[in-house]
Amino acid sequence: MNIALLRSTFASVAPRADDLAQAFYARMLGTFPQVRPLFAETDFDQQRVKLIQSLAAVVALVDKPDELAPVLEKLGQTHLGYKVTPRMYPCVTYSLLTVLAECLGDDWTEEAATTWEDALLFVGGAMIQSQEAAAA
């Protein structure tokens, strides 16, 4: 994973973070209606902030696994409480990759796509492991 590229592309979208988050939720809820019930009583203003804070934490700690692990464990357990299942993580990955591509335009290269996909698959995997450990 190209950490420098992950960070630079995130820095490029950070000034438009709320737009990114709005587009992400619109994409995910529009493309994957099965996740809509999870957001029935969601305050999307707060939800968008949480999404961007989570992404920022992952980007900041991606090269510090000892610090990142507890963050992902907590996120996984929190999402277990929201009734998020392992089958829903690909919905998030697809939606976020699609929106990042739209936001970054010509800066969305094949390497950027691979880097972000690798990062999101790692994050999702760690969150799922945390959910499974908590449920056991």
> What is the rounded distance in angstroms from the CA atom of residue 31 to the CA atom of residue 36?
10
Q: State residue 119's pLDDT score.
A: 96
pTM score of the predicted model: 0.92
Q: Which residues lie below 8 Å from residue 72, measured CB to CB, with a gap of 6+?
A: 58, 123, 126, 127, 130
- What does the domain layout of the chain look like in residue ranges? 3-135
The angle at the Cα of 118, spanning 58 to 14, to the nearest 5 degrees, equals 45
Cβ contact 7:119 at 8 Å:
no
Angstrom distances, CA of residue 77 to CA of 18, 42, 127:
25, 18, 7
Considering the domain delimited by 3-135, tell me its CATH architecture: Orthogonal Bundle (1.10)
Q: pLDDT 10s digit of each residue in the chain, 136 long?
A: 899 999 999 999 999 999 999 999 999 999 999 999 988 888 989 999 999 999 999 999 999 999 999 999 999 999 888 888 899 999 999 999 999 999 999 999 999 999 999 999 999 999 999 988 887 7
